[in-house]
Amino acid sequence: SAVISQKPSRDICQRGTSLTIQCQVDSQVTMMFWYRQQPGQSLTLIATANQGSEATYESGFVIDKFPISRPNLTFSTLTVSNMSPEDSSIYLCSVERPRGNTEAFFGQGTRLTVV
């Protein structure tokens, strides 16, 4: 199974600031995905990150608020910009299982609290 490392695991941030979350995978993967889990809620897909191209955002999410980088096949970052308390969530990255198998792996998540 793929090993996914997310940093930081948690953070408390002031409103109006930005936080960059890192996701490192131990093998090369084509697609990486970022999800948000608001308190007491399910997971919602933010965007898909492909190496060498701009991320594809889901409805309700925009690049200015959640810029994503994907510099290589093992790494991605998600930035939560100009944060407000409504951004307090768990942010998770996930990857397709290598070699085209059919389940995804998830990182441990980043628990963000905006005060």
Partner 1 sequence: AQSVAQPEDQVNVAEGNPLTVKCTYSVSGNPYLFWYVQYPNRGLQFLLKYITGDNLVKGSYGFEAEFNKSQTSFHLKKPSALVSDSALYFCAVRISDSWGKFQFGAGTQVVVTP
Contacting positions for partner 1 (CB under 8 A): 4, 6, 31-33, 41-45, 48, 92, 94-97, 100-109, 111
Strand partners of residue 96: 104
Residue 61 or residue 105: which is nearer to partner 1 going by CB? 105
The closest of 34, 24, 89, 43 to 66, measured between CA atoms, is: 34
CB of 46 to partner 1, least distance (A): 11
Name which of 13 and 43 has its Cβ closer to partner 1. 43
Q: How far apart are CB 80 and partner 1 at their closest, in Å?
A: 18
Which amino acid would we find at residue 68?
Answer: I
CA atoms within 13 A on the CB side of 41: 14
Distance between CA 51 and CA 86 in Å, rounded?
29
For the CB of residue 102, give the shortest distance to partner 1 in the complex, in Å.
5
Q: Which is nearer to partner 1, 85 or 100 (CB)?
A: 100
Q: Are 66 and 54 in contact (CB under 8 A)?
A: no
